[in-house]
Structure 1
Amino acid sequence: MACTEPSWNGTGAFGTTVDVKDPVQGGVLKNCSLIAGIASLAWKKKIGVQAGPTYTFNFYRKVNNVTITDPQQTDGIIPNPLQAKSDDPVKFWPALYEKAYYQWLEQLGLTKPSARPKYCLHIEWQSPKTLLFQLAGKEVSYTESKGGISLVANDVFTQINNMCDTCGMIATNRTIKTPSVAWTFDSTAANPANAANPANPPYPYTPTTITAQHTYSLLGVTGTKVAGVWTQKYIVLRNPYGKGPKDPVLAAPALYNVDALWCSTVPPGSNINLKDTTDGIFAISADIFVKYFAGYAWTTTI
């Protein structure tokens, strides 16, 4: 599908709350890394509500190994059709955040909120590691498949679990401490889990299950324990598509822990039902995670 620049004929309000479930990928841009990144920041309450009519979003870069903060201003005019958007019709903060990010990338001027970026310059997939730093301004660490070898399920689960805190009263509900993302291989053929049978790959990417070259928010872990030992290990993710046919829960429930309640931090004390297919949040077993995902990244501090 060809990319067509959006028109600029509407004003959108920021919204009165910021929720991990808000940002949704739309349009034709391959902006999943951005959507996953801002959702992960929202998950850790790193995005505050702004009153407008001018909004400021901080972006970060390195100069001589020193982190520089760039406060990018943007006005309330939003693109039509929306690229980044929200499932909540009264919230436009994801679209405003995305517009500010493209203004910053194109160096249109930090104090020129009415500058209009060229969305079609940003149709390529972006590095989730780079984007996480640009959004959070914190050092980013990562674990990634190398040398054509898949990650190891137990190692992955242990590392992610060690980066989590227990949520609420349930010891197996664990939320990630810092903004984090995970991403898939760029194609079915590139996935080492399919190397033994490339003609009939056992772990194909499809639009209705797990998508190739796609970045997800990494939210935490869950599962079951017996006598203090993990017997079921699941990794909790959020698809930046938000909901609908791209939610893997709809396509392959046997692979996912869809019957459990899992803790949420927004709002405090609420729960996420992993059986719910309206928010893009799901849990995938660690064994299956390593068959599809190339790596994951996290900020080393909050």
Structure 2
Amino acid sequence: MTITKEQNDVPTLQASSEFDLSTYLGSYKKLVEEALDGFLPVQYPEKIYEAMRYSLLAGGKRLRPILCLSSCLMMGGTVEMATPTACALEMVHTMSLIHDDLPAMDNDDYRRGLLTNHKKFGEDIAILAGDGLLVFAFEAIASHTQGVPCDRLLRCITLIAKAFGAEGVVGGQVVDLESEGKPDISLETLNYIHTHKTGALLEACVLSGAILAGASEQDLQNLSLYAANIGLAFQIVDDILDITQTQEQLGKTAGKDLQAQKATYPSLWGLEESRRQAHKLIEEAKAALSPYGKKALPLMAIADFITSRSY
């Protein structure tokens, strides 16, 4: 498959002998960033919009919105119908990063190679910037999605809300904070933390795009298995990178997990077993997409990309 451009300059997929993930990610990243910029112009009071845009437009791979777009396309949907939700997912993710970096949480000074939001604007504005992004995310889905039946849209909004709430990211963060400094954290607890703190939102990214496109319940089960596996693999690789890469390579403070005495997969399994487990999860994720043939190439390539990050 290769990327082409239609008259409206939206990337689409056409079959060919190979799939170029780099081109695919680059094209959709550009689309997402242009859409994010358009969704959130600066207005009065300028400071809060500047703070929201500072973190939202700070870069990153944009994997979460791209997962949403990719699953929608695989299920026969369009880029247009999924773009507001894809952008909303990036807003929710950015909100979680802003709040996660706060002194009351992980107390980080750098994110994506830049000062964290609270270091740039102060803790009060950083909290409000995160709140603003979270609320605006749902406004963007509800106000800007076109060509999608209301029942699908409502299901999509409910899915994202649950993924970020106490049943998902928030719950995982609570258990993560409670587990700091404890030497006897079990694998079961560690899995709970990361299937909720990281995996829940990744699963919402994959499933939301498919829901918008009208995927069947069997399709959603397959995609849920794919998402659960890449979500856990993603966290394992993040744990490995935290102890094997520098701040310059990561774009954020390195070695934070060790300093905070957090349980990680390498601390429980060691580096080699952690790498083996990550690769196993990716293979299981790709196997869940086998019914979809070439239409699943983007999602399969993204799964491989997760473990190809340098570690």
Settle same-fold status: TM greater than 0.5: no
Larger strand share, 1 or 2: 1
Higher relative contact order (CA 8 A, sep 6+): 1
What's the TM-score once normalised by structure 1's chain length?
A: 0.28
What's the TM-score once normalised by structure 2's chain length?
A: 0.28
Larger helix share, 1 or 2: 2
